[in-house]
Structure 1
Amino acid sequence: GCDASVLIRSARNDAEVNNNKHQGLRGQDVVDAAKAGLEDQCPGVVSCADIIALAARDAIAMTGGPSFDVPTGRRDGLVSNIRDADVLPDVVDSIQVLRSRFAASGLDDRDLVLLTAAHTIGTTACFFVKDRLYNYRLRGGGVGSDPSIPAAFLTELKARCAPGDFNTRVALDRGSERDFDDSILRNIRSGLAVIASDAALDASNATRALVTAYLGAASSRFEQDFVAAMVKMGTIGALTGDDSEVRDVCSQFNSD
């Protein structure tokens, strides 16, 4: 996303957005509308990559979170490949795999906890929950439901995501999905994480200790560190040189 490659649409369905990890990704129309308005006023100046970063900042502020300065000057990438998204964290990743994926991008355990906490806002598709509910590999063999999910919460999730339903949306932060706060961390500690990768934060002493520390600290500490993690993530893979462009339309390369 730092080079806006995820916004490219391909008639061959081979762009980054077509990777299953982006199933249910929404909001491209908002970015397209912002870009169209900017092109009317100052054509060729503001990149789609910067629009994504600024829109994320504004969404956080609009839901009660902090507003913060976002470094700009990114340019848009010239490549969008379906396989490029394979390196992204997966909802079924163990805590060891998550830590490894984050470390490969220069992010540490604190960043992992804080960026996972971004799930305080929004929803996910049942597609990303189904295996945890119906196809979880059990230690004794066979498949079933993830035994770490509390019984009442499991019933709630199954009522929301019936077998074969991949598209219904489920709040990631139960009871607080429209507000920026630390309740996602409280839900994780209580076993009420919706996706397995969120629940994984409780499976490592290091990440569990960070969750506990933020829950015991003032909300300003969480917000301050969250901003730092967001800005840090926003520099990963950012392009500024000649191997990039400022797209006229976010969904297609200028050469198309």
Structure 2
Amino acid sequence: MDNSQIKKLGNALYEAMVSRNTLVPFTEQHPDITLEQAYEIQLQYIQRRLDAGEKIVGKKIGVTSKAVQDFLGVFQPDFGQLTDKMVYQEGETIDLNELIQPKAEAELAIVLKEDLIGPGITAVDVIRATDYVSPCFEIVDSRITDWKIKIQDTVADNASCGVYVVSNIKADPRKVDITMAGMTLYKNGELFSTGVGAAVQGSPFNAVAWLANTLGELGIPFKAGEVILSGSQSALVPVTDGDELECYIAGVGGCKVNFAGSTKV
């Protein structure tokens, strides 16, 4: 795959996002696509968003659970970029008219108070650099038809980023055992899923350390004030018009989100 093909696929992802259409999996179009090429496609897709006026505000980590890694045939997480256009404030209703085939997941957001530059970053370094943690919902969305993704497809598609909402709660990670903290997720008042921080690479801070080191090798720092979505602690939740989700992380607090509108698919 040459640079012109990489640029073409990145542009196709951007146009699919804008038009709310989906694409044939890249792994079907180009069976020899590599993970490195997928990240190059992601960069082109993100550059189109930046050219349209968006700004990078953080990162997301995906594929953090062993079950998902086994399913996709990989042995490490992936990552995507968060932009200011993806952000919803707690209390705002998420507009499904802007999404294609969304699914929600509950996780922990980590906000940095100082830069974090790898390699050599440990989970302890991450905790020291963290300003606060908050429960959050990431609403993943795929520009790939019917979520028929392999790892290269989701990486190219910015780790299937959609939108996200972070709770107004700001908890001190030095006062809570995030690794052992249980998480419960309710859909329309009924228990849907449970989880625990240890399901995310052994700890959400391990996942962030992995990403800090991965980005450091590429010359990319985590910057103070950035938001990092550390990886799902719940099962994926399909969402439709009128749905309400709530999640609670023990010792941290909760986050609530509502949905309205009609998805494209």
TM over 0.5: no
Name the structure where helix makes up a greater proportion of residues.
1
Q: Tell me which structure has the larger Cα radius of gyration.
A: 1
How high is the TM-score relative to the length of structure 1? 0.29
Name the structure where strand makes up a greater proportion of residues.
2
